Structure 1
């Protein structure tokens, strides 16, 4: 595996160019040499000037054209949406060819992406399509809490429908495999219930008894240290306090809310079970502050650190 990470610049009108440039500027020489930015050089130069950073960007940029670049900061644009897609597409092809070992994605704007004719619900769905991967799971990782999701960008009604025994089991297995890769010998995995109090023996629904409990039993039969379903109003606190290494959340907000409460600026979005490795910041394009040189790049630094760990083969301390 290549030790080079490829950072996709994200939406050219958002904060992605700024947090990417600032992260590159803070790297040591060895890490900088093992970094490529997939983006647009005039846009990155505009970000560099906004940040008042003195660094020669050209040697590190895979420069892809954007008509009219740099585009105005903070504006929704199909041109920007198309550019964001092309940055990612090029990085995916290079990852598949072994040119880079992991992709780190800066934020894209889903509305701009769709206005440009690229109809995806976000990075994970796009990457799954581009790589033709059979599955892809969103894992949010922070120092004290890690969450993997059975479903993400769907309605709550659809999320309940998707919480089948087979899908929950597949999510447990994907999370277990990923944590083993990153240094956990026997991950302790908690599976959140989908109904209040896990349904109270059918009083508030039967999905926990009929769909989730059998998935946990099947995981344990395969030797996975899985527990549940556990009521969602306690399981995240138990994991944060050290009781579990990973929580399987049944839907988007169930997993995102606790992570963003305890690790808003440091959580890393990891795509699990793709044919390539990818990490990402866990925030949006922040159009309201784009181009002002004030965006916090801490989340980008965390995503880069996780990517470095993946390209090193998952060795070292637990992330």
Structure 2
């Protein structure tokens, strides 16, 4: 039976044509999930039944209208069934406007549950950008949706893998375009926000590191001046505002140092700088945490993998870790927000 002290985690099933439904099913087949949280799934009953048949994993489905009807028992999926997929035209592994629209509706419902205080956090499997574009959804990803739903400005992504945490100064822009964005003002702002985000997650007086951009962090200007002209002034300004931070630390060593406890988190400067570090450390256990929303959202850090959808071979490790991270951080986040 449910543990009333466990946080309720809203879990939309992602793009129905991808591996999202499969990894949700596989995750909820594990008792350890129910030991730490009350998982509440938002999706389509026909899709889940189709996937369970395809992957030969069978759980009971308990359809509910209100969250107080959920039992949260291992072996059973408590489902809010939006019934928004035409199962006769449903096809796994292909881009579909119908599935893009469905994935959006699952996320919106998860948000509404938080707003109505029926859930404590959201944990998301992957959605597909092309499927979203093929529908009438005006957002490109989860973060854009949740930002709009909550009127939040510029949420920050944090990766967590084992004891390594990584924030990103820039993300979905080209490397060429990211460098002009590495201004002292942006560095100062992001370091302050990193500190605040870690405190919301229960980490008191966090120690941060700022990654360098150039080889050897520029070697005093020999290999570039970004560290001298922008990164260090931004770091010093953040220090004056109470942030404990070192750097710029050469990127070839800073992530190793953080993984071994020298820092609580690293502010990476661009997408691949931090992604490569996290995924080389442990690809499957890398979890994404969205900061800057009025509630906690965690996510897997992989795509919809259309090429293997419905084949029963998708790994649920990242989904399990993402759900567990939501359960771990929710009590700290909820306490700080209140």
TM-score if structure 1 supplies the norm length?
0.92
- Flag the 1:28–1:269 CA change in 2: closer, same or farther, 3 A: closer
CA offsets per residue over residues 5-60 of structure 1, 9 Å max, x none? Answer: 00111110011001101111213695598221111111111122223233212341
Q: Are 2:47 and 1:43 aligned?
A: yes
Is residue 2:61 matched to residue 1:57? yes
Instruction: For structure 2, list consecutive stretches of 5 or more residues without a partner in the other structure.
Output: 64-77
Deviation of 1:105 after TM superposition, in Å, equals 0.4
Separation of aligned partners in 2, 1:76 and 1:32: 34
- Residue segments in structure 1 that go unaligned for 5+ positions in a row: none
Size of the aligned set, in residue pairs, is 315
Q: What's the Cα RMSD here?
A: 2.2
Alpha carbons 2:168, 2:270 under 8 Å: kept: yes
Question: Compared with structure 1, are the counterparts of its residues 130 and 161 closer, same or farther at alpha carbon in structure 2 (3 Å cutoff)?
Answer: farther
Residues 164/87 of structure 1: CA separation in 2 closer, same or farther (3 Å cut): same
SS, match of residue 139 in structure 1? strand
Q: Which position in structure 2 is the counterpart of 1:34?
A: 38
Instruction: Provide, for residues 57-114 of structure 1, a one-character-per-residue CA deviation record: whole Å limited to 9, x for no partner.
Output: 2341111133422721111111111111111111112212221110000001111112
After superposition, the C-alpha distances for 1:118-162 in whole angstroms (9 at most, x for unaligned) are: 343422222212221022001000113210001111111221122
Q: Which moved more, 1:267-276 or 1:165-174?
A: 165-174
Q: Is 246-255 or 44-53 further displaced after alignment?
A: 44-53
Partner of 1:299: 318
Structure 1 stretch displaced more, 123-132 or 252-261 = 123-132
Query: Does the 8 Å CA contact 1:121/1:153 hold for their aligned counterparts?
Result: no
Rate the CA distance shift 1:33–1:155 in 2: closer, same or farther, 3 A.
closer
SS in 2 for 1:226: strand
Say if 1:194 and 1:250, in contact at 8 Å, map to a contact too.
Answer: yes
What does 1:1-319 align with in structure 2 at a 5 Å threshold?
3-27=7-31, 30=34, 34-59=38-63, 60-69=78-87, 71-313=90-332
TM-score by length of 2: 0.87
Deviation, 1:214, is: 1.6
C-alpha contact (below 8 Å) 2:44/2:85 kept by paired residues: no
